[in-house]
Each structure stands twice: as C-alpha cells, then as structure tokens.
Structure 1
Amino acid sequence: MKRALAFALAPLCLGLATTLPLPTLNGCSMLAWAQETRIYGSDGSDGSSGRSGRDGTAGQSQTTVADGTSASFTLAGSDGEDGENGENGYRPSCSGQPRNVNYNLRAPDGGSGGDGGSGGSGGSGGNLTVYYGDRAALQRLSIDARGGRSGRGGRGGNGTVGCRCAVHEWELQTCTGTPGQADYQCRANRYRCYDGSSGTNGSFGRDGTAGADGQLWIVNQLEPLLSETPAIAVGLQTLVDQPVRLSRNLWAEKSGANALLAPGSRVNDVYREYTGRVEGDVSLNWQAPRPLGSFAGGDVRTEIQPDGALTATFPDSLWADYTTSRQADQLTITVTNAVRASDVTRLASGGVQGSGANLKAVVLDLAGESAYLTTQFRLTLKTTDGDPRDDRRLRYVTVYDDVVPAELVSLMGNRFELALGRLPIDRGPLTRGKYAQIEITAVRSLGTNSAEQSISWQGQF
C-alpha cells in the first residue's frame, strides 16, 4: 500500500482566507501546514492469487506387430487444467475519520486483486513402434496419439476502491501569551486528509501450451531390435590399450505418417523409419608428435551419432585434432595433434621494434605450442600527435582495426613478428617518436577447438 508523507512546513505569511479570525504579529497572520500524517481505519486486504492448473499427463507409448489384423491404439495425452481465477481484493474500512485533529490524515487503501493462475500444458501423445513384414498391414492400424489441449489462464481479481475523506481540509488555531499583551501570538495550522489509493487489478494467467502429437516409429522386420550402447566414456590410455564396443540403431526421418495408417488416425505427421545398425569396436590410435603420457589423464567420450558418424569428445584439459575411420566392425579414432588447453593462451607481448616501414610488433609464445596451433591476429592500432608527458588527456586516433594479413605474420621458433609497417595504411602515424596504443587479439585453434587472448602495448615508436 502506498503512503503519503507529510509536507515539510514553516510559518507562512499568506493572507489566506480562513474559517477562524487570525490574530496578527507585525501585521502578518501566522499560518503553517501540519507535518505529521496518520492513517485511520484499515486498508483492504489483497486477494489471493489463483492456483496454476496441473499439466496433462503424457500418453503411454507402446510397441506392436502389424500382422494384417485390425487394431486400435489410444495413446492421447490428457488435457491441462485451467488456472484458477485470482481473488478480488477486500474493501477497506472507511468509517471513523477523526474530526478537528492536529495532524494530517490518510484514508485507507483498497485491496489489490490476486493474479490468475497459469493454465496447465497438455500432455504429449504416446509413441507407437510398429514391426511389420508387409507395409500394407499398417493401413489396418488406427491410432489416436494426439497431444492434450492446453489449460486456460485464470482471470485476475478486481482491485477495490480506496476510501475517500469526508472532510479534506480544516484549520486549528493555537495562541500563546496574554491577550492584549506584546507576547500574545496566534497561528493557524492547516490540515489535510488524503484519499486512499484504489487496489490494482490482478494480471491474467498465461494459457498453457498444447501437447505434441505422438510419433510413429516403423521397423521393416518382425524381430525386435537389439539393445544399443551409442556412447561411452573411458580413460585415454584405456582406449588405446582396450577397444570398447559401441552400437546404435539408425532411423530416417520422413513425412506422411497419417497416410500410412487407417483413416482418421492422428499422429505427428513426421515419422521415423529404421534404416539399419552401426556397431563395432572403437579404439584410439595416438599419432600426435608427443606421446600420450605427456598429457594429463582424463576420459574421452566416444559416440556413434544418429547419422552413424563416430565422434570423440576429449577432456577439457586437452585439445586434440583427430579423424575417424571404419573397416568392417573396427572403428578407429586417430589423433594427429594435441596440446594442453592451459598452454594455448600463454602468449605475451614482446614489445614493438623499429618505425615506419620497418615497424613490427612482437608476440612471444611462452608455452612453445605455436608449431601445433593455427594462430590468427586481429590488431587495433591507435596513435596520437601529442605527448603524454605534457598532456594526460591525449586524443588517440584509430589508424587500423582489422585482421593482420597472414603474409605479414612470421614465426621464428616461439616468436611471432607482425609487420605493422607493411599494413595497407598511411605510414605517417608510424614515424619514430609517435606515441601509440596497440591491442592484439590472438585467435588460436586446433581441430574444433578455439580460444582468444588479448595482448596490450602502449608506448613510443
């Protein structure tokens, strides 16, 4: 509930009309506004918010064999419940405004309405997996796998009106001293009553979402599919020494599911059709320049993807570049390069050398990994005509902000040199004695891994 604060007031010489005659002091009436505000009556209570509707339950998934006989399957999800309406706010108690009191008043506020509850979401339809020998047998299956309907959001409750004051302004006169004497003074205090605020209406609850229709999965065989182990995580050295067995059933996504079934069926129109199986022993072939023992341990996760491709996810501490191959049931991950992740961003500024056409920036690889990584540099170069010894608020102008062309970057051992003097810009700002700010962003990558590091330099060419 909002509460008004009283005005800060002092005696005023206003010459205002009042309900009582005001004695004067030096020809001026003494009038002041009251400083204290009190509440009378009682505010209305806020209404409770409505309960959200429960979500519908998902339909039960089933498996069947289509042998040509008619069959019906009810796999529909149930509907979400409607949210409850918010409760209306309660009226305030407005009676009993005090009269002729020596303080301001505020009438009670109305209660706010409660928010409506959210509607529940419909349950998704169940899936049906069908084994068959004759595709025409699918036409004998009637399936209702529709998703449940969404529940509606509840209405917000109404706020109630705040109380209004019966009397909005009044004055009381206070005198001190002896009438007729010089010490006799009177002042009139003016008081106000502020109407109460009306309560706000509650917000409407959001509607739930409709449940998704269940999906049809079909398998052109009568024998049940074998169980699968599509992914496993094992230690790096373990995978080198002992292959692991992976397997995955593969599915093609197609459209037109309802046309395959009996008329009146309701399923997601996108269905999945079994296309075969990938399985085999997965091994790790370490062909990186440095031995596996040079790197910290950790697990590698190998997985056969839904499209049949074999992938590997190495521990966060290791960047690896690898390829995969398959011969019969032998799946091989061949690592051709590897670096420690912590060594990728151990670059440092080696300063700036030369000026004009011979200006170059030096970046040092403290970890010595540059032979194994791809490194690209982005450069922001700013120069100024001023001198920081004379002016602390120099204005720097950007003269280059782009990737450094690969032909202007050379690597000698663990030392990169960026030929700034050969950039396609005016060499005037690169003359000896100029002050400059350089921001270099190194982007380093290996395989699917990538990281950035910023290196700054500021000084005089």
Structure 2
Amino acid sequence: MGVLGKISLFTVFFSSFLIIPPVIPFNACSGIAWGAEIKSFGTDGQNGQSGQPGQNSQNADNMTIFSDGSPLTLNLAGRDGQSGQNGSNGETANCGNQPVNVRYNVQAPDGGNGGNGGNGGDGGNGGSLTIYATDPAYLRQIYVNAAGGKAGQPGQGGMGGQGCLCENPYWTIETCTGKPGDPDYRCTTAEFRCQNGRNGTNGLNGVAGREGLVGKLTLINLDKPLETDEPAATVTMATLKDKGYILSRNIWETRTGARALLASGSIIDDQYLALVERLERSFILVWNAPQSFQNFADQKISISLENNQGIKVDLPQDLWIEGTTQQQKNFTQFIVYNAMRSQDATQLESQGLLGNRRDLKLTLVDKANQSNLIATKFKISYRTTQSDPRFRPVSDYTTKYEGEIPEDLISLDGNKFTINVGQLPINDRDLRSGLGVEIKLVGTRSFAGYTAEQTITVREVLGPFK
C-alpha cells in the first residue's frame, strides 16, 4: 500500500521561527501532500483470500406409497448444508530497513487484510410423503423421518497481518548557507518523521445457511391411484352429443396431527393434506332442434364444474342457441330446441320500393331464412331531396320522419317483409312521384336472449304507382 493518506501532522523547525504546514484531510483516492517528500520502504503484506461458500444440499426425493398395514421405515430427511471455508489471514508486512538521516519523510509498510469467511450452505428440504391407505390404523406402522437438513456453518474471517513500526520515529537535519562570521551566514534545522504501518483489518465472518424445511404428508383414502382434476374442458358439440364428457375435481382439506397418525417419533410437518371427496359429473348434449345438427357439429362448447357441483355451459359468441340445462345428482343434460349462427340474424336485403304516396311499400328478404325464429323490430329515417340520389352523393336531404315502425305496418310472409312506408305520418307532398328519397332502416333482431342490429339504406326516386 502507498504512503499517501497515512501521515499526520509534521513540523519543520528553523532557527528563528516555527512553520506548521497545513493538514490536508485523508482522501483514499488522491492521498495527501506532506510538507516534504514522502517515500515508503519495505513491502505491504498481501491480503488474505476469502473462504469458499458451502454448497446448498439437494432436497430429499418425494415418495408415494400404498400402505397395507405392513411395518415400514422411510428416510426422507434432507441433507445438511456444507460449511463455509475460513478466510485466510493477511500477511505480515516485510519491514526491510528504515532509511536514516534522509531529507524526506518515510512510511512503514502495512499488514494485509484478512479474507472474509464463506457463507454456510442451505440444508435440503425433507421429502414429502403421499400415502394411499384405506384404514387409518395402517399409518401407525409407518415411521418417517422427513426432517430438513441442518444449515451449513459460516466460515470465520481471517486475521489481519501486522504492520511495521518505525525504528526512528523522527530526526532533524541542519542546513547552513554562507560562511561562518559573514553577515549572511544562516542555519536552519528541518525535522522529518516516519509514519508507522497500519495493521490489516480482520475479515468478516460468513453467514449461516438456511435450515431445510420438514417434509409434508398427503393422505388419500383410496386403494388405486388418484386421477388428476379436470374441472373444465372445451369440447366439440359432436363429442358432447355422441359420447358426453366427465368433469372431475378432487376436494382437499388441510388438517393437523400428522405426527399422531404415524409411528411414534416420526418427523414430519404436523399439518397435512387429506382427500375429502372426488367429484365426478357427467355432461351430455341432447339435440331436439329442427335444424340439421351437422351444421353445428364442429362448434366447440366450454363446460366447467362449479362450486355448487353443477356444470356451467359457455357458448361461442357466434352461436345462438335456445336451450335449457337440466341438473341431476351426478348428471347434467343440455337440451337444445333451436340453434342458429349469429351472422344469420343480419342477412336482410332490400328488394326496393314499390308504389308512391299512401301505397308506398318497401320489401325486404331474409336471405338466411330465419325470420320464423327471430323477433324483428324496425326504426326508420325517411328523408327527401330534389336531386336524384341514385347515381351521385346528395347533400340536400331533409328529414321528414324518424321513429319506430308500428307492428301493424309490417307483414311477414315466409322470409319476406313488407313495410307500409306510405302509412306512416308523412305529408302527401313528401311521398309524390319524382321525389328523391333516402330510407334508412335499423332492424333489431332478437332470439333466445341474443340481439343484433342491421342497418339497411335505400336511395331511389319515387315513381308512379304500379
């Protein structure tokens, strides 16, 4: 280590007065400047090496057994964590020889710092045990050691090495100018010092590892492997109709007293998990709809087992179904009475206007032919213009009527709607031949709780009555 930052106050004496140089605070990066040159001697001791940390131990393997009452001893203990290594000691400084009667200050060498101790490794967790046993008395024949491994001990920090002490802490040197007896003859005396070396600092002790966790018990009152949960599924309608589907859920309960169930002296977490019940519920799709099932066979339905043990049905957004769910003890039926795709609700198409004045009618055709299932209501906006709106955009429309169309002005014949526009409260002059009109219909179509809207716009010039 260098000498900067190690020298305290020094003084320089002259024959007629005392000079005290300024003391500059310690700065480990830039050092300090003495009033005279500073040189070090000897060699600083090397720092000690830090100890290696102890390795963490692996967790013990988990185990599953089927108990028939036979005595059994199981070692599921986690292994202990390894201890951290000690840090090595710092080396003692090599002092060498202190320079004598020199015209500069000197710094003795420092001892090396001790290395830090390594941290201890973590102990491994004890293995968890799953026991299938149909008789609780069988458990008394099973001794289990599922203790967690002990924590690894920390390494100790190394001792710091000794620094060197100055043999001669200070000395003076006289300097004269001129000849004795001459008026300009002057002598001055300067003092120089030696700074002792610093002892190395002791290394830090490591930190102990973590104790391993004790293993846990899971108890299953069955004599065959427990099947996994399947509380939800997404399945095609064809599968649900032809085969049905079984949803399941295992019901668990956290209890205390695991050690009392096992052989005396067993080491295991006292809280354990016990299977209370396995729920299995069947689901089937019953197709009582007049529509062909083949048009819907590939559609997928999501089903899920709820907390009340019933089955919830989630249909895709593009599928409109009229149906009902019938829940029995372990069996659920989903009965479909009618079905359609959502896009079939918005397949209305204008067939144009017919007549004028009070006999003006607008005809629509349902291209999906679903109007026998769907309830339909219409709103209308009736606007007129002096221009011909059929071939170019028109900006001078004037609204003559807006509102819902009464049901008695709408007739349905198969898939054909006829709307008696001329019977709406519109002035005769706004229904005359040769007048440009824009009719905007908004159809609201509803089926089994589903709703969709479709907007149809017709632009024509009213002609003579046909």
**How high is the TM-score relative to the length of structure 1?**
0.52
The aligned counterpart of 1:144 is 145
The aligned counterpart of 1:365 is none
**Alpha-carbon distance between aligned partners in 1 of 2:10 and 2:195, rounded to the nearest angstrom:** 17
**Alpha-carbon distance between aligned partners in 2 of 1:187 and 1:246, rounded to the nearest angstrom:** 106
Once the two structures are superposed, the pairs formed by residues 162-181 of structure 1 within 5 Å of their partners are: 162-181=163-182
The aligned counterpart of 1:329 is 311
Alpha carbons 2:220, 2:275 under 8 Å: kept: yes
Once the two structures are superposed, the pairs formed by residues 28-427 of structure 1 within 5 Å of their partners are: 28=16, 34-228=35-229, 249-276=250-277, 328-330=310-312
**Alpha-carbon distance between aligned partners in 2 of 1:202 and 1:6, rounded to the nearest angstrom:** 25
Alpha carbons 1:84, 1:153 under 8 Å: kept: yes
Q: Deviations over 1:112-145 (max 9, x none)?
A: 1111111111101000111111111111212111
Alpha carbons of 1:263 and 1:10: their partners in 2 closer, same or farther (altered >3 Å)? closer
SS of equivalent to 2:176: strand
Alpha carbons of 1:49 and 1:329: their partners in 2 closer, same or farther (altered >3 Å)? same
**Alpha-carbon distance between aligned partners in 1 of 2:252 and 2:183, rounded to the nearest angstrom:** 107
Alpha carbons 1:59, 1:77 under 8 Å: kept: yes
Deviation of the 1:266 alpha carbon: 1.2
**Alpha-carbon distance between aligned partners in 2 of 1:117 and 1:7, rounded to the nearest angstrom:** 36
Deviation of the 1:203 alpha carbon: 1.6
**Alpha-carbon distance between aligned partners in 2 of 1:246 and 1:185, rounded to the nearest angstrom:** 112
The higher radius of gyration belongs to: 2
The aligned counterpart of 2:287 is none
The aligned counterpart of 1:242 is none
Amino acid across the alignment from 2:211: A
Amino acid across the alignment from 2:224: E
Alpha carbons 2:142, 2:263 under 8 Å: kept: yes
Deviation of the 1:30 alpha carbon: 7.1
Amino acid across the alignment from 2:44: D
Amino acid across the alignment from 1:129: T
Deviation of the 1:201 alpha carbon: 1.2
Amino acid across the alignment from 1:214: G
SS of equivalent to 1:139: helix
**Alpha-carbon distance between aligned partners in 1 of 2:141 and 2:124, rounded to the nearest angstrom:** 26
Q: Deviations over 1:339-368 (max 9, x none)?
A: xxxxxxxxxxxxxxxxxxxxxxxxxxxxxx
**Alpha-carbon distance between aligned partners in 2 of 1:170 and 1:181, rounded to the nearest angstrom:** 28
Alpha carbons 1:59, 1:126 under 8 Å: kept: yes
The aligned counterpart of 1:389 is none
Deviation of the 1:228 alpha carbon: 3.9
SS of equivalent to 2:131: strand
**Alpha-carbon distance between aligned partners in 2 of 1:331 and 1:213, rounded to the nearest angstrom:** 43
Percent of aligned pairs with the same amino acid = 40
Alpha carbons 1:138, 1:260 under 8 Å: kept: yes
Amino acid across the alignment from 2:261: L
SS of equivalent to 1:130: strand
Q: Deviations over 1:401-427 (max 9, x none)?
A: xxxxxxxxxxxxxxxxxxxxxxxxxxx
**Alpha-carbon distance between aligned partners in 2 of 1:57 and 1:166, rounded to the nearest angstrom:** 57
Alpha carbons of 1:332 and 1:190: their partners in 2 closer, same or farther (altered >3 Å)? farther
Q: Deviations over 1:286-325 (max 9, x none)?
A: xxxxxxxxxxxxxxxxxx9xxx9x8xxxxxxxxxxxxxx8
Alpha carbons 1:120, 1:152 under 8 Å: kept: yes
Alpha carbons 2:13, 2:190 under 8 Å: kept: no
**Alpha-carbon distance between aligned partners in 1 of 2:169 and 2:94, rounded to the nearest angstrom:** 18
Q: Deviations over 1:166-205 (max 9, x none)?
A: 0000111223344433443332221110111111111211
Deviation of the 1:216 alpha carbon: 0.6
Deviation of the 1:6 alpha carbon: 5.3
Alpha carbons 1:81, 1:152 under 8 Å: kept: yes
Q: Deviations over 1:201-242 (max 9, x none)?
A: 11211211221111110111122222346899xxxxxxxxxx
Structure 2, unmatched stretches of 5+, are 22-34, 234-245, 283-303, 316-466
**Alpha-carbon distance between aligned partners in 1 of 2:266 and 2:252, rounded to the nearest angstrom:** 22
Structure 1, unmatched stretches of 5+, are 14-21, 23-27, 233-244, 282-303, 311-324, 334-461
Amino acid across the alignment from 1:171: T
SS of equivalent to 1:88: coil
Alpha carbons of 1:216 and 1:332: their partners in 2 closer, same or farther (altered >3 Å)? farther
Q: Deviations over 1:45-74 (max 9, x none)?
A: 111111111112211101111112222221
Deviation of the 1:259 alpha carbon: 0.9
SS of equivalent to 1:82: coil
**Alpha-carbon distance between aligned partners in 2 of 1:187 and 1:247, rounded to the nearest angstrom:** 104
Alpha carbons 2:139, 2:262 under 8 Å: kept: yes
The aligned counterpart of 1:424 is none
SS of equivalent to 1:189: strand
The aligned counterpart of 1:436 is none
SS of equivalent to 1:125: coil
Alpha carbons of 1:326 and 1:111: their partners in 2 closer, same or farther (altered >3 Å)? same
**How high is the TM-score relative to the length of structure 2?**
0.52
**Alpha-carbon distance between aligned partners in 2 of 1:279 and 1:168, rounded to the nearest angstrom:** 93
Amino acid across the alignment from 1:166: E
Amino acid across the alignment from 1:330: K
